Amino acid sequence: MPKAYWIAHVTVTDPEPYAIYAEGASQAFRKFGARVLARGGAFEQFEGEGHPRNVVIEFPSMQAARDCYRSDIYQSARANRTDAGIAEIVIVEGVE
């Protein structure tokens, strides 16, 4: 079974509630066996519109990635992010 990845591009507009989101989201990621591969850090935008924060999170499966996003833990954390930034998140299945 291939792994899956959350890929997020984010612009934080209000750091305080975003920090609360990040703490709660981290709890959800641990519960669903996720591993953060990239978060913030240096980047180069080659095409399209970019965001200053880019995140890649590995999950053991597509189902685990979906379940994490839909979980009460993550959705509770997400409520803090709604007005604290602009986010684009996609879940991508990896290759075997």
The domains of the chain are located at 4-43+50-93
Q: Is this model's pTM higher than 0.85 or not? A: yes
Alpha-carbon distance of 6 to 27, in angstroms, equals 15
Q: What pLDDT score does 96 carry?
A: 87
- Specify whether domain 4-43+50-93 bears CATH 2.160.10.10: no
Average pLDDT along the chain: 96
Q: Per residue in 51-80, pLDDT tens?
A: 999 999 999 999 999 999 999 999 999 999
Nearest to 18 by CA among 35, 36, 40: 40
